Structure 1
Amino acid sequence: MRFMIIIAVCFVQAALALQPKFQVVEQLEDVPEGWIKGDSPPPSTLIKLRLAVNQPNLVTLEQDVIDISTPGHSRYGQHMKRDELKRFLRPGAAISDQILAWLNSENVSSNSVEMDGNWFTFQTTILHAEHMLNTKFSYFHHPATKTTVIRSLGYSVLREIYPLIMMIQPTTRFGGPSNLHITPMKEVVMATPADLAAPCGSIVTPDCLREMYGLYGTQAKPDARNRLGISGFLEQFARHRGFYEFLNLYAPNQTNANFSVVSINGGLNDESSTLASSEASLDVQYSITMAYNTLATYYTTAGRGPLVPDGDQPLANYSTNEPYLEQLHYFLNLPDDELPAVLTTSYGESEQSVPATYANVTCNLFAQLGARGVSIVFSSGDSGPGSSCISNDGSKRRKFLPSFPASCPFVTSVGATFNSQPERAISFSGGGFSDNFARPQYQHAAVKGYLKILGNQWQGLYNPHGRGIPDVAAQGTNFIVRDHNRWIRVSGTSASAPTFAGIVSQLNAVRLARGKTRLGFLNPWLYTLGQPGMTDIVDGGSRGCYGLDVNGTLRYATLNATPGWDPVTGLGTPQFQPLAQLALAV
């Protein structure tokens, strides 16, 4: 009997010895499309890593955000404070100690470690990072965007650490060819003198939008609780001179308007630059003129610039950094009285180019901003149901390709329309159904109605259970913009998002004037009480999937605008006066 026990123990010990010491956290099948793998970086190269702790309270938080944002719920409007949120998400002492001990054992200097909520940020060398993550880092170059980064195709952690880890980046996060580029606007052309004087049917100006969406006679009072935030990335500089020239011609009653500039992670705003900045100019000029008198800030997050080369930015000429994490951590660390009430961003990429874990973690950070009362607005993209419409998992399966972060359930995504009386869906308006995020309860009834109309069309090319985008829409063609001493015409959902964001700022002003809280995360309100304040768009549709051969089944892929919600214009376009009354009803 004793002999059998000894043998059994030996077998157990042998089995344990055969178990891998490391467990895979993330693994890519191949080098992402468009990227070329190069040499290994020097072992002494520094790399800054962010580690997200697997925190059960994250799921609880997302439900809390829904409760806080749903009209009729007892917690509606009770937004969380910064310190309250951090305490809620902070891991227990035992977990923190275990992670710190692991980092220390891997030669990570304690002086480089920062703890913030459920995040640890630290700096180490490539040599030590490769050992602790059981991986190999390489230079990867993207010729089309002249971007060079240090990344790996996968990483692992010790078995005993694995249950604590959600994600460590930058490692497998590459992004697609559009990574770190402002969502390409559908059209940017020089405006002629005739364009500048054309009527609203031919061009779009602030007056055209204010008349179309019922904002005439509205004027917000400057209020620090209602700051409008405008995201800026990659050498998109918001120029005050162009802004004032735009006001003088198209908003002469707002010539006292202004905006401040805040740098995140060394972001630049070189107003003397000769580079075109049509996106920044568009966003600033239209969001502010729609918000009228609201305090506004342009938040410029570093992309390329004079940054100290490290693992994420190894070459000064081709440096690049991850904007979402830098920007979101900056906002979440702001004191409550400095946080913007509305944040508009005209930026995105194909959802499939974003690792699912990264997308989930980033989306949760957007949810955290929603918990603190921030309305987050994103453009839905300019490729209709998708561009190439080919999967990147090696199978080259044909499928519709939604955009991220527009597909995150905790942001409000904005599609595009054109024309008036009636407004129509425009062909490039991005939309569809997420492959990564399940359809949230707040839009279940609305999306279910559309799927019934759609029937079997495009079956198998989209996820019928996914989060539907966009949520709303606004005009998106022929916006007159002043950029770098020239007048241009701009089209794209990049124009629609700041337009809608400016209207949300006005709605916040109405609520604050009545002693109410700001709206915060918008979607549960929009899909319930807010829906009667939207103009339903039932004409037009989107087109996409042009990247296939002539005989391809997706060559003329279309999604139509229909009564009710649709994946081209969402719930429709805003009408300020009805929305203002509905905003006061809760």
Structure 2
Amino acid sequence: MAPFTLVMGILSLCISCIDIGAAAQSGYTVVEQLRNVPDGWIKRDAAPASELVRFRLAMNQERAAEFERRVIDMSTPSHSSYGQHMKRDDVREFLRPSEEVSDKVLSWLRSENVPAGSIESHGSWITFTVPVSQAERMLRTRFYAFHHVETSTTQVRTLAYSVPDDVHRYIQMIQPTTRFGQPVRHERQPLFQGTVASLEELAANCSATITPNCLRELYGIYDTRAGPDPRNRLGVSGFLDQYARYDDFENFMRLYAPNRTDVNFTVVSINDGLNLQDSSLSSTEASLDVQYAYSLAYKALGTYYTTGGRGPVVPEDGQDTNVSTNEPYLDQLHYFLDLPDEELPAVLSTSYGEDEQSVPESYSNATCNLFAQLGARGVSIIFSSGDSGVGSTCITNDGTNRTRFLPVFPASCPFVTAVGGTYDVQPEKAISFSSGGFSDRFPRPSYQESSVQGYLEQLGSRWNGLYNPSGRGFPDVAAQATNFVVIDHGQTLRVGGTRSVVKMSVALRNFALTIVVVHLRLYLQPSSPG
């Protein structure tokens, strides 16, 4: 069997190389090209020719650097423009490509017979929907079904794509194409290995078991004089069929926040996201998120944004919608950017991340700019720093297999606040799985200069060559990240165990609560900026 497997592997690699080579044809320029199939994925059959796919095209922004400097300035307390946030239409106008650029790109789409009714223009982004067969002709590539073994998910992708030479310089990326992601399916491998909490554990001190009261005392999260304000909304992101259960939330509040039983949260569906109440799947992550976020963020409005996990595909009647399963973060970001200013959350926290090197660079750049756009409109965006330590696999995927500490995205984006994890009290200590390091793509922002430079001077030559000392450092802050009591499906659990894919969500919720308190206090001051 081994020789046969080796031959098939070589043949598959050769076919992949042929596909990539075919992407660069006369009159066309490659936009994005992967060296090989990402780890964990297997290429299978050609994608169904008639399958409809919704694409998002990002145009290059001439004023992107200027815009991002402006966002940093308005986020810096010592700067004269601090707190002077922009309106939705102002952001769009600032980043809108020239009429010439838009006309060139739209003209190309029309020349390829893209249905006019499917084309939508949103500033520097364009969405359009075409069948796989038409996309292959437009992008001079072949789409295949790729299977992720660990999670048994399948999605339609390619390893390279091209556009005509005369529009290449205007296009930053088109997705879904080379963006694979790292999916997780909860029913097959729970995000948390929760253990049933005993009465003795629940009565223990905060070093052994964390409850809302522990966090209030540890971080000084106390009630404010402010009443509910529609501008002060704490948003929690929900992906991958994690459902926030109302009965578990009610029981948790009754037991651990009895003076706040009037608190509840609303659910907003993005891209047909669900919040099933009768699902047998584990909802430990969602339970943790809403139970702690909204028991502590008293008087802030709570919204759970559940985003469907099958975003890129527009299914035809009878079509298998399991194809192209993914985590549609672009869909979520564009949903928020389209909202009127008064409907945006003040804080949005998300427990998600993957190795920066596994994300196409054009994708990470475009997505980071979208975070900047939300920040420009006054949204505090909080991400977990990751749970794979300082280096993850410590092996690069650029073909050299070099040893290197691998940063995590989106935590490495300078326009989000990355939160690491701690444990214990008196003193609080960094927890072993908490990720941190330096971006290989995003330079160090000005707001980090003094702190990071001092750290690097202390570090000296240790670990030289294993990280980028001029990159954006993360995490920015840290908070408790283990031994939390939650209620899921009526059972009281203490979140722990060795397998904790996004246990960092606990830490980021804690920091999100602090930001919410800051927002509440700012709203009490009429002269407050923002």
> Does TM, normalized by the shorter one, top 0.5?
yes
Using the TM superposition, name which of 145-154 and 90-99 deviates more. Answer: 90-99
- Select 1:504's aligned residue among 515, 521, 524: 515
Query: CA distance change for structure 1 residues 319 and 149 in 2, over 3 Å: closer, same or farther?
Result: closer
Partner of 1:541: none
The Cα of 1:265 is off from its aligned counterpart by 0.5
AA matched with 2:138: M
- Select 1:384's aligned residue among 386, 389, 399: 389
AA matched with 1:298: Y
DSSP 3-state at the match of 2:268: strand
2:34 paired with 1:67: no
Query: CA distance change for structure 1 residues 77 and 183 in 2, over 3 Å: closer, same or farther?
Result: farther
- Retained in 2: the 8 A contact 1:195–1:203? yes
Q: Output one character per residue of 1:201-222: Cα deviation in whole Å (capped at 9) or x when no partner.
A: 2100110000011124546421
Partner of 1:368: 373
Partner of 1:143: 149
The Cα of 1:401 is off from its aligned counterpart by 1.4
AA matched with 2:513: G
The Cα of 1:496 is off from its aligned counterpart by 0.3
Q: Whole-Å Cα distance in 2 between the matches of residues 191 and 309 of structure 1?
A: 44
Q: Equivalences for 1:544-559 in 2 at 5 Å?
A: none
Q: Output one character per residue of 1:492-518: Cα deviation in whole Å (capped at 9) or x when no partner.
A: 311000111011101100011112557
Partner of 1:493: 504
AA matched with 1:490: V
- Select 2:489's aligned residue among 481, 484, 487: 484
Partner of 2:473: 468
Using the TM superposition, name which of 75-84 and 510-519 deviates more. Answer: 510-519
- Retained in 1: the 8 A contact 2:32–2:161? yes
Query: CA distance change for structure 1 residues 391 and 19 in 2, over 3 Å: closer, same or farther?
Result: closer
- Retained in 2: the 8 A contact 1:182–1:347? no
Extract unaligned runs of 5+ from structure 1. Answer: 1-17, 520-586
Q: Equivalences for 1:539-578 in 2 at 5 Å?
A: none
- Select 2:108's aligned residue among 74, 97, 102: 102
- Retained in 1: the 8 A contact 2:183–2:326? no
Using the TM superposition, name which of 410-419 and 384-393 deviates more. Answer: 384-393
Q: Whole-Å Cα distance in 1 between the matches of residues 245 and 278 of structure 2?
A: 8
2:83 paired with 1:77: yes
Partner of 2:315: 309
- Select 2:231's aligned residue among 225, 230, 235: 225
Query: CA distance change for structure 1 residues 184 and 52 in 2, over 3 Å: closer, same or farther?
Result: farther
Number of matched residues? 500
2:115 paired with 1:112: no
- Retained in 2: the 8 A contact 1:49–1:170? yes
Query: CA distance change for structure 1 residues 100 and 216 in 2, over 3 Å: closer, same or farther?
Result: closer
DSSP 3-state at the match of 2:46: coil
Query: CA distance change for structure 1 residues 183 and 67 in 2, over 3 Å: closer, same or farther?
Result: farther
Partner of 1:210: 216
Query: CA distance change for structure 1 residues 199 and 513 in 2, over 3 Å: closer, same or farther?
Result: same
- Select 1:321's aligned residue among 314, 320, 326: 326
DSSP 3-state at the match of 1:281: helix
AA matched with 2:61: Q
Q: Whole-Å Cα distance in 2 between the matches of residues 306 and 154 of structure 1?
A: 18
2:263 paired with 1:257: yes
- Select 2:284's aligned residue among 264, 278, 285: 278
Partner of 1:569: none
* Higher Rg of the two aligned structures: 1
DSSP 3-state at the match of 1:87: helix
- Select 1:29's aligned residue among 19, 26, 35: 35
Q: Whole-Å Cα distance in 1 between the matches of residues 145 and 506 of structure 2?
A: 36
Extract unaligned runs of 5+ from structure 2. Answer: 1-23, 497-502
Q: Whole-Å Cα distance in 2 between the matches of residues 373 and 326 of structure 1?
A: 20
DSSP 3-state at the match of 2:166: coil
- Retained in 1: the 8 A contact 2:311–2:331? no
DSSP 3-state at the match of 1:204: coil
AA matched with 1:446: S
Q: Output one character per residue of 1:515-542: Cα deviation in whole Å (capped at 9) or x when no partner.
A: 25577xxxxxxxxxxxxxxxxxxxxxxx
- Retained in 2: the 8 A contact 1:415–1:472? yes
2:170 paired with 1:164: yes
Q: Equivalences for 1:287-306 in 2 at 5 Å?
A: 287-303=293-309
- Retained in 1: the 8 A contact 2:53–2:314? no
The Cα of 1:39 is off from its aligned counterpart by 1.2
2:418 paired with 1:413: yes
Partner of 2:10: none
Q: Whole-Å Cα distance in 2 between the matches of residues 322 and 304 of structure 1?
A: 7
Query: CA distance change for structure 1 residues 213 and 183 in 2, over 3 Å: closer, same or farther?
Result: farther
AA matched with 1:395: T
- Retained in 2: the 8 A contact 1:145–1:177? yes
Partner of 2:399: 394
Partner of 2:127: 121
The Cα of 1:181 is off from its aligned counterpart by 11
Q: Whole-Å Cα distance in 2 between the matches of residues 501 and 480 of structure 1?
A: 18
DSSP 3-state at the match of 2:305: strand
- Retained in 1: the 8 A contact 2:68–2:372? yes
- Retained in 2: the 8 A contact 1:33–1:176? no
The Cα of 1:179 is off from its aligned counterpart by 9.5
Query: CA distance change for structure 1 residues 327 and 168 in 2, over 3 Å: closer, same or farther?
Result: same
- Retained in 1: the 8 A contact 2:186–2:282? no
Q: Output one character per residue of 1:422-475: Cα deviation in whole Å (capped at 9) or x when no partner.
A: 111111111111111111111011111111111122211111111111000011
DSSP 3-state at the match of 1:161: helix
RMSD: 2.3
Partner of 1:352: 357
Partner of 2:16: none
- Select 1:342's aligned residue among 343, 347, 352: 347
2:446 paired with 1:441: yes
The Cα of 1:177 is off from its aligned counterpart by 5.7
Using the TM superposition, name which of 296-305 and 134-143 deviates more. Answer: 296-305
Using the TM superposition, name which of 367-376 and 186-195 deviates more. Answer: 186-195
Q: Output one character per residue of 1:345-404: Cα deviation in whole Å (capped at 9) or x when no partner.
A: 111111111111100100000000000000001111111113321111222111111211
DSSP 3-state at the match of 2:194: strand
Query: CA distance change for structure 1 residues 243 and 179 in 2, over 3 Å: closer, same or farther?
Result: closer
- Retained in 2: the 8 A contact 1:508–1:518? no
